Structure 1
Amino acid sequence: MPRGNRELPKVIYKGTEDDWTVMVDSVEDLEKWKTDPTIPLAQVVSSFNVFVTYRQGVTGLLNVAPKFELENEFGTSNTDIVISKILREGKVEKVVNTERQGITNVTEGAMVSH
């Protein structure tokens, strides 16, 4: 698959202080999981990381949330429980990772003939 131009779905949960994000493989798998509790969570999420934006909104930088912050927001640091809550109560957002443009080798320096 070429770099870029790939849909990257994520689920965003608005917490009391911050926005929490979980990356999913596909919206279709997420919807199936919501209706069928026998589907393993591993078949839905891209990773078992919960991300936080530190009040930068949904377009802010995503940082892996520390366990103490999960505990403060969700009452547990168990990532399976936190991820399940975010997937059930959050909002799906689809982002297209656009193809990279421009020079990819910055070591070329100035491209001027001498």
Structure 2
Amino acid sequence: TGDHEVLAALAAEVGLDHNEAAAILAGDRFTDEVRADETEGAKLGVQGVPFFVFDRKFAVSGAQPEEVFHDVLQKAWDERSPFTMISGSSSKQNAAGVCTDDGCELPSRES
């Protein structure tokens, strides 16, 4: 129970209710959720902490420099959002670009 008290005190330091945190730590209220997280982590290959998963596709294991997180976040974003929006300088060009469920028709480049 010593560990529970330390964790409850830390919870209070970050603004959570100390008594509620202590009660949750002493009970089994979230046991099913914790077991589900453990199972999912094992399926993802988690073998230790910290372990971070981005977009269920990229993982960073262990304490890493800031640049590693920047790189993985950029890679995940690039793969999720591959489009670059281009807007013309005139309202005629902007109005000519049309997108539907079947794709996009972009205005042709005039010489």
Q: TM-score, normalised by structure 2?
A: 0.18
More helix by share: 2
Q: Which has the higher contact order (CA 8 A, sep 6+)?
A: 1
Larger radius of gyration: 2
More strand by share: 1
